[in-house]
Amino acid sequence: MTDLDTVVLNFSASSLLVMNAILAIVMFSIALDLRISDFARLIRAPKPVLTGLASQFILLPALTFLLVLMVEPRASIALGLILVAACPGGNISNFITHRAGGNAALSVSMTAFATVGAILITPLNIAFWGQLYAPTREILNRVEIDPVQIALTVSLMLVLPLVLGIYLNSRHAPFADRVRRPMQNLSMLIFLGFVVLALAANWAFFLQFAPFVGGLVVLHNAIALAAGYGTATLAGLSNYDRRAVTIETGIQNSGLGLVLIFGFFNGLGGMAVVAALWGIWHAISGLALAKLMSRREAKR
């Protein structure tokens, strides 16, 4: 069997540019729901937002590192898990929180703050936790990633569209109202279509290695959801806010993860399979959890 640590998936430079553009469009469509006033939530009620950010950027990467130490997967798989845990919340977390009957406004605020914070925190988390595990340290030393370049990539793909969307929603609300829903639907369809095409181009590798990685991704996602729920519970948040923090921690921006993998790690197979499976599974687990949560109205 092919060594997963040496497999490089088929993904051209032009494909990477297309994926960067798609993620920027997706982020812009989400930002059309945001206003400057959403950021004021941190001043008015900082506890829920700070709890969510701590769960996402501190606890989840630490628990991921413990999982890697316990399971000792192949180096590329381990680094894929670390990288996904270092990414901000996923694009569908706000939608799933709303379906779960949780605090969608809090979810939106956490997504916004996490996206901005990811400029610094994502590359730092990848470098810090990746260097602590010898097999992943070898990969990091071999590819010599530049945290500044990662920060610039995150800025261009996430922060710039975020700022533009907030500006339009704040200053040109009628226009934002007209294009919001079509943009959100179109962006998600384009994103899903691109993922399907990328998987099709690497289907043989995907089928070969997915069974070995799938169980680990399911476990990792369960740990992420549990981390969010546990952190929110220990912080004494209401059930309404707890649902938002749980989902925000368990839904990661695996699309950003794939861009970083192909842009900085040359499409390393184990990392890419982890991120791709995360992108599929977290949507399934998130929607299933939302269905369960929505059966009982959340206390605010």
1: pLDDT confidence band, cut at 50, 70 and 90? very low
Q: What is the pLDDT of residue 199?
A: 67
What is the share, in percent, of the chain residues with pLDDT greater than 70?
85
**Out of 2-16, 188-202, 218-232, 259-273, which region has the weakest mean confidence (pLDDT)?**
2-16
Q: What is the mean pLDDT of the chain?
A: 82
Question: CB–CB of 259/153 below 8 Å?
Answer: yes
**Out of 13-22, 105-114, 128-137, 268-277, which region has the weakest mean confidence (pLDDT)?**
13-22
12: pLDDT confidence band, cut at 50, 70 and 90? low
Q: For 122-137, what is the mean pLDDT?
A: 92
198: pLDDT confidence band, cut at 50, 70 and 90? low
Q: What is the pTM of this model?
A: 0.83
**Out of 16-30, 219-233, 280-294, which region has the weakest mean confidence (pLDDT)?**
16-30
The domains located in the chain, with CATH, are: 13-293 (1.20.1530.20)
Please state, in angstroms and rounded to a whole number, the distance separating the CA atoms of residues 73 and 50.
32
